[in-house]
Amino acid sequence: MTDRTVLVGFDALDFRYLDAFESSLPNFSALREEGVEAPLRSTFPPWTGSAWPSMYTGTDPSHHGVYGFFHHTEGYPDDDELVTRNRVRRPAIWNYLDATDDPAVALNVPVTHPAESIDGALVPGYLAHEDDAGHPEGVRDELSDAIGEPYTIYSRGETSDDKAEKRAGYLDLIDLRARAAEHLLDAYDWKVAVVQVQKTDAVFHNFDDRETFRAVYERADDLLGRVRDVVDDDTNVVVCSDHGIGPVDGYTVYLNEVLREHGFVETTSDASNPTLATEKSALTGEGGGGESSADGTGTKPTATARAVSAATTALGAVGVTPGDAYGVAKRIGVDDLLTSVLPDEAIAAAGESVDWTASAAYCRTAELGVRINLDGREPNGVVPADDYERVRDELVELLSALRTPDGDPVFEWVKRREEVYDGPFAEHACDVLFLPTEMNHVVSPSLIGQRFVPVADHDHKLDGAFLAAGPAFDADADLDRLSLTDVAPVALASVGRDVPERMTGSVPEGLLERDHSRVAYGDVPFGSDAEATEDDGSVEERLSDLGYL
**118-161 confidence digits (pLDDT tens):** 999 999 999 999 999 999 999 999 999 999 999 999 999 888 88
Confidence of residue 346 (pLDDT cuts 50, 70, 90): very low
pLDDT at 310: 47
Are the CB atoms for 279 and 290 separated by under 8 Å? no
Q: Average pLDDT in the 39-54 region?
A: 96
State the pLDDT at residue 308. Answer: 43
pLDDT score for 536: 37
Least confident of 161-170, 366-375, 394-403, 521-530: 521-530
What pLDDT sits at residue 535? 42
Between 343 and 32, the more confident residue is 32
pLDDT winner (highest mean) among 16-20, 339-343, 533-537: 16-20
Q: What is the DSSP string of 484-543?
A: GGGHHHHHHHHTTPPEETT-S--PPTTSBSS---EE-------S-SSPPPPP-S-BHHHH
Domain boundaries, the chain: 5-127+161-247+460-467+482-526, 248-459
Residue ranges with strand state E in 57-140: 70-71, 81-82, 104-109, 120-124
How sure is the predictor about 367, in pLDDT bands with cuts at 50, 70 and 90?
Answer: confident
Say what the pLDDT of residue 270 is.
72
Tell me the C-alpha to C-alpha distance, in Å, between residue 310 and each of 173, 317, 344, 352.
Answer: 39, 11, 16, 12
| Mean pLDDT to the nearest integer, 345-351 | 49
pTM higher than 0.75: yes
From 375, 372, 364, 423, select the one nearest 394 (Cα to Cα): 372
Closest CA to 235 of 508, 26, 491, 469: 469
pLDDT for position 325? 57
Please provide the average confidence, as pLDDT, over all residues in the chain: 87
pLDDT at residue 307 is higher than 90: no
- 5-127+161-247+460-467+482-526 maps to which CATH number? 3.40.720.10
| pLDDT tier for residue 292 given thresholds of 50, 70 and 90 | very low
Distance CA 27, CA 11 (A): 17
Give the residue ranges of DSSP H helices in 188-263.
199-206, 210-230, 255-261
